[in-house]
Structure 1
Amino acid sequence: MTPLERLLAEDIPTRPPPAPSTPRTSTGRRPWTPAEQDAHWQALCDAVGAPDTQRPALRLIRPAQAA
């Protein structure tokens, strides 16, 4: 058997079949509580070596007003 014949005899990798879809429910993903957000922010700050950094506040973006 030649090298080309061995190569052609190999299995061709294929993509696995897609996972079965599950309906999205509101219980699967819920918003984080403020305590969870604070704990996550603190863990991020500790990971980058800035443990006392204050979490940024969200700003409300308003449309520009006509002059």
Structure 2
Amino acid sequence: MSPLDALLLELVPTRPDPAPPRGPWTEQQQDEHWAQLCEAVGATGEVRPAARPAAA
């Protein structure tokens, strides 16, 4: 392969692998995400708000 061919291959964009299918988050995943958000904004230890029932 010539240097030009190698360079051209680098310039060709490739599509990333599709993300695995995801379902609803588990309670543990929600807690971990909330903790990461709180840490990011400097509010560690905040209690995650409870989900409200859907309005009818």
Same fold (TM over 0.5): yes
User: What's the TM-score bracket when you normalise by the shorter of the two chains?
Assistant: 0.5 to 0.7
Amino acid at match of 2:28: A
1:60 matched to 2:37 = no
**Structure 2 CA distance for aligned equivalents of residues 62 and 54 of structure 1:** 23
1:58, distance to aligned residue in structure 2 (A)? 1.2
Secondary structure at 2:21's aligned position in 1? Answer: coil
Which structure is higher in RCO with an 8 Å CA cutoff and minimum separation 6? 2
2:30 to 33, 37, 40: 37
Structure 1's consecutive aligned runs of 4 or more residues displaced over 6 angstroms after TM superposition are none
Normalising by structure 1, we get a TM-score of 0.48
Residue ranges of structure 1 left out of the alignment (5+ in a row): 1-18, 20-26
Which structure shows the higher helix fraction? 2
Which amino acid letter does the alignment assign opposite residue 53 of structure 1?
Answer: E
* Alpha-carbon displacement from aligned partner over 1:11-67 (angstroms, at most 9, x marks no partner): xxxxxxxx8xxxxxxx7121111111100000000000000110001112444xxxx
1:37 counterpart letter in structure 2: Q
Number of aligned residue pairs: 39
% of aligned pairs identical?
47
Are residues 1:47 and 2:46 paired? no
